[in-house]
Amino acid sequence: MSPFLSLTNLCPAQKSDISIALGRNKRHLLLDYLLSTGKVESIIDIPLVEQVDGSIVALSRRTNTSLSHVLLEELDQAIFHRFDPYAIPITRTNLPSTAIQLLKSTSLLDVEPLGVDHIISYITHVPCYFGPFPGASSSIFVQYVSWVSEFFEWLQHSPLENILCDHLHKHSLLPVNSGQLKPISSGVFSTNHTHNRDGLVQFLQRLGLSFLHPGVSALAQKYLDPHLKSLNNPHDVLTVRATRTLNS
Amino acid sequence: MPPTYHRYEDVLIAPPNITMALLDAFASVGLAVTQPPKEVYDLLHALQCHRLLTPELAHATILVRLSDFLCRLFFH
């Protein structure tokens, strides 16, 4: 196979041959050398960078109209890789360290660091990606609960947490007992302090109150707790119940 | 990769510090690179030979090779 067929990834069926013809090590060597003078121009239009979906892409000069590849740090990648196959993982296994530093700081190429707008866009597509949910015990819902737990665990350590938090309130992200997704702003109740109160929880659920799905991880629940309603606060119960009654 | 023979103006001349692994990577993308002994390289450098390997020249040469390849693929 021609080396350029492997570089351009023109034949997806031959993907397995690509790694043989020009494996990651050779790509790293070429990237390292081409970037050794610190000029990112030296890799423009040469397909050397691996995307999240495993295909190889050539970075181009950034223009006002071109879409940029989102750079995902290792922790970001675990959360968002499934929503953006064209993102570029900036990990040591995917890129040499020279390239990582230059890609993170360049404004010349069609790459940009993960930002609030990207995350909001990913979050908007979450229900399409996972849903529809046939029920709270369905495997896809369980997968979602696991993902959203990781997301909120990631969020509490993210430098974007303060800005994102305001945006997230209106998105239907929280998995609740009934197998649906609700926005934080809708008044979802915490499952903390519900021990030995199963009867009360079931009764309130029948009245239309939503409780955070118990499968959400303890760390994520701890982060979410200040944003959730509490059964210990009768005012919360009455307010949410009154809102439900007015809306129904 | 087995050695091939080219005209002087068709090859890139690598300095002695370029590793064999990198030369092999260049060969994998179709670049003809030669690595003469240090004395010969120094002489060519002193003569300001325009085929001395640099990241800029490697980039330009790979692009030409890539363009040739795509032309052959789509128009022949």
CA angle B71, B74, B76 (to 5 degrees): 85
What integer best gives the mean pLDDT of chain B?
89
Can you give the pLDDT at residue A235?
78
pLDDT string in tens for chain B (76-residue length): 677 788 888 899 999 999 999 999 999 888 999 999 999 999 999 999 999 999 999 999 999 988 877 776 666 5
d(CA A7, CA B48): 32
- Take residue A26 and report the two structure tokens written for it: 């050779």
Which has the closest alpha carbon to A185: A173, A202, A194, A201? A173
Can you give the pLDDT at residue A244?
60
Can you give the pLDDT at residue A246?
58
B23 vs A62, A98, A193, CA distance in Å? Answer: 30, 19, 65
d(CA A60, CA A86): 14
> Is-contact A80 A88, C-beta < 8 A?
no
d(CA B3, CA B7): 13
- B contact test, residue of A7, A9, A57 with most B CBs within 10 A: A7
Cβ-Cβ pairs closer than 8 A, A with B, add up to 65
Contact: B28, A36; criterion CB under 8 Å: no
Can you give the pLDDT at residue B1?
67
The alpha carbon of residue A16 is apart from the nearest alpha carbon of chain B, in Å, by 16
Read out DSSP for A28-89? Answer: HHHHHHHTTTS-GGGGTT-EEEE-TTS-EEE--B--SSSPPEEEE-HHHHHHHGGG-TT-EE
User: If DSSP states are collapsed to H, E and C, what string results for A172-223?
Assistant: EEEEECCCCEEEHHHCCECCCCCCCCHHHHHHHHHCCCCEECCCCCHHHHHH
pLDDT string in tens for chain A (248-residue length): 445 444 444 433 333 333 345 789 999 999 999 999 999 999 999 999 999 999 999 999 999 888 899 999 999 999 999 999 999 999 888 899 999 999 999 999 999 999 999 999 999 888 788 878 887 788 899 999 999 999 999 999 999 999 998 888 888 899 998 888 999 888 899 877 666 677 888 888 888 889 999 999 999 999 999 989 888 777 777 776 666 665 65
d(CA A171, CA B75): 50
CA angle A23, A25, A30 (to 5 degrees): 100
d(CA B37, CA B15): 9
The alpha carbon of residue B51 is apart from the nearest alpha carbon of chain A, in Å, by 16
- For B8-21, what is each residue's pLDDT tens digit? 888 999 999 999 99
* Other CB atoms within 10 A of residue A245 CB: 10
A202 vs A13, A57, A194, A209, CA distance in Å? Answer: 53, 52, 11, 9
Contact: B55, A34; criterion CB under 8 Å: yes
d(CA A10, CA B65): 16
Contact: B55, A29; criterion CB under 8 Å: no
The model carries a pTM of: 0.81
Is residue B36 reached through a cis peptide bond, with omega within 30 degrees of 0 on the bond before it? no
